[in-house]
């Protein structure tokens, strides 16, 4: 097991919650719903992290809330921070500045109390252009990983990848930095396979083989539905699992909240209560989870509930 897991002397490391949905609700982030059909992969820049340079105080505040809720790892808001994705929102030429600023803000709030992770997600090139998008994606992922490593993050979290092929490119770049790397896939529209057809078990094995210190799932499903993915992964890998469920309910027909008609403008109507996160915290250790946090829809109240669950188990 990687030493990062013994550093905190707890069985399960607590991460933070979701940033972009919460900051969109607070009025600082563009959901894209007014200018495109979101969730199609043809997007022009929804949920991008330019807040790190445009409203740093608002970002600092949310970090502080998660730290106050007990987070031991703060994720710099570098999600969707590749030059490719930022360019779609009109911020491509500020890629370096946005990534550096996001890391700096997280580090200043963490103040040595929490580790700071750089977050890297998919480019959306594969969704838009198919497999030929992979070639272009590789350069963008490498560039962002290098920016985050240079900015001094303590670890890297690769998350919300839909295609295992794109995750492999990100992992290769991330592992080359020698930083610890946590890797989580997002499954949609069903949890049975990722977008290029690999089962949760196949994804877990591949991510471990490619050097991740913890593997799992994030986003799209609430804690109850995500358990199924994690138990399939648990059967095939021995590293700690990583889980960051979303706080939105899905349906038996569609297991991903971003594919539901409620995304993004009626998410309040499918919000899961924080009790589900308390329960998830209670069971986390027994499920073999070593790193747990919340994804979209989880504010500090959810993090506190999760933390209470962890502490009561
Ligand atoms: Zn999410």
Question: Which residues make beta-bridge pairs with 244?
Answer: 218
266 CA distance to ligand 1 middle (Å): 16
231 CA distance to ligand 1 middle (Å): 20
Instruction: Output the pLDDT for position 41.
Output: 45
221 CA distance to ligand 1 middle (Å): 9
**Cα separation, 245 vs 228, whole angstroms:** 12
Q: What is the rounded (10 degree) CA torsion for 281, 283, 287, 289?
A: 20
143 CA distance to ligand 1 middle (Å): 23
68 CA distance to ligand 1 middle (Å): 21
pLDDT one-digit tens code per residue, 109-128: 999 999 999 999 999 999 88
218 CA distance to ligand 1 middle (Å): 7
| pLDDT values of the chain reduced to their tens digit, one per residue, 313 residues | 888 888 888 899 999 999 999 999 999 988 876 655 444 444 455 899 999 999 999 999 999 999 999 999 999 999 999 999 998 888 999 999 999 999 999 999 999 999 999 999 999 999 889 889 999 999 999 999 999 999 999 999 999 999 999 999 999 999 999 999 999 999 999 999 999 999 999 999 999 999 999 999 999 999 999 999 999 999 999 999 999 999 999 999 999 999 999 999 999 999 999 999 999 999 999 999 999 999 999 999 999 999 999 999 8
77 CA distance to ligand 1 middle (Å): 12
Distant-in-sequence, close-in-space partners of 308: CB < 8 Å, separation ≥ 6: 278, 281
Instruction: Output the pLDDT for position 168.
Output: 98
75 CA distance to ligand 1 middle (Å): 13
Report the relative pairing of strands 181-185 and 241-244 from DSSP bridges: unpaired
Q: Which residue has the tokens 């790190």?
A: 52
- For the entire predicted model, the pTM comes to 0.96
Q: Give backbone dihedrals phi and psi of 277, rounded to 5 degrees, phi first.
A: -80, -35
Instruction: Output the pLDDT for position 34.
Output: 61
The domains found in the chain, sorted by start residue, are 4-312 (3.20.20.330)
Instruction: Output the pLDDT for position 39.
Output: 45
256 CA distance to ligand 1 middle (Å): 10
Q: Which residue has the tokens 């490619």?
A: 210
260 CA distance to ligand 1 middle (Å): 14
The distance from CA 290 to its chain's CA centroid, rounded to whole angstroms, is: 15
- Long-range contact set of residues 60-65: C-beta below 8 Å, sequence gap at least 24: 60/105, 60/108, 60/109, 62/19, 62/22, 62/23, 62/26, 62/300, 63/16, 63/105, 63/106, 63/109, 63/110, 64/109, 65/299, 65/300
Q: What is the DSSP string of 107-166?
A: HHHHTTTSEEEEEE---SHHHHHGGGHHHHHHHHHHHHHHHHHHTT-SEEEEEEES-HHH
Residue 224 buriedness (CB in 10 A; 0-12 / 13-18 / 19+): middle
Tokens of 65: 């809330």
Instruction: Output the pLDDT for position 52.
Output: 97
146 CA distance to ligand 1 middle (Å): 23
18 CA distance to ligand 1 middle (Å): 6
17 CA distance to ligand 1 middle (Å): 9
């Amino acid at each position: 097991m990687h030493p990062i897991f013994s550093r905190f002397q707890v069985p399960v490391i607590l991460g933070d919650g979701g940033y972009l949905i919460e900051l969109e609700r607070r009025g600082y982030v563009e959901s894209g719903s007014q200018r495109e059909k979101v969730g199609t992969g043809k997007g022009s820049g929804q949920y991008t992290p330019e807040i790190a340079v445009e409203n740093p105080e608002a970002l600092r505040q949310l970090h502080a809330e998660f730290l106050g809720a007990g987070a031991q790892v703060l994720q710099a808001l570098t999600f969707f921070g590749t030059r490719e994705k930022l360019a779609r929102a009109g911020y491509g030429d500020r890629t370096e500045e946005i990534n550096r600023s996001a890391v700096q803000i997280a580090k200043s709030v963490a103040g040595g109390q929490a580790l700071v992770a750089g977050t890297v997600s998919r480019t959306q090139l594969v969704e838009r252009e198919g497999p030929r998008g992979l070639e272009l994606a590789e350069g963008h992922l490498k560039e962002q990983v290098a920016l985050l490593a240079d900015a001094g993050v303590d670890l890297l979290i690769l998350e919300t990848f839909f295609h295992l092929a794109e995750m492999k490119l990100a992992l290769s770049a991330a592992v080359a930095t020698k930083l610890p790397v946590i890797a989580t896939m997002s499954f949609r529209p069903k949890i049975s396979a990722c977008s290029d057809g690999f089962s949760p078990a196949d994804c877990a094995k591949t991510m471990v083989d490619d050097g991740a210190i913890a593997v799992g799932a994030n986003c799209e499903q609430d804690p109850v539905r995500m358990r199924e993915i994690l138990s399939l992964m648990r059967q095939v890998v021995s590293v700690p699992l990583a889980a960051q469920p979303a706080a939105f309910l899905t349906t038996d027909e569609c297991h991903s909240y971003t594919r539901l008609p409620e995304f993004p403008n009626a998410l309040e109507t499918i919000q899961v209560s924080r009790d589900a996160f308390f329960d998830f915290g209670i069971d986390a250790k027994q499920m073999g989870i070593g790193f747990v946090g919340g994804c979209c829809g989880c504010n500090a109240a959810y993090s506190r509930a999760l933390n209470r669950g962890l502490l009561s188990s």
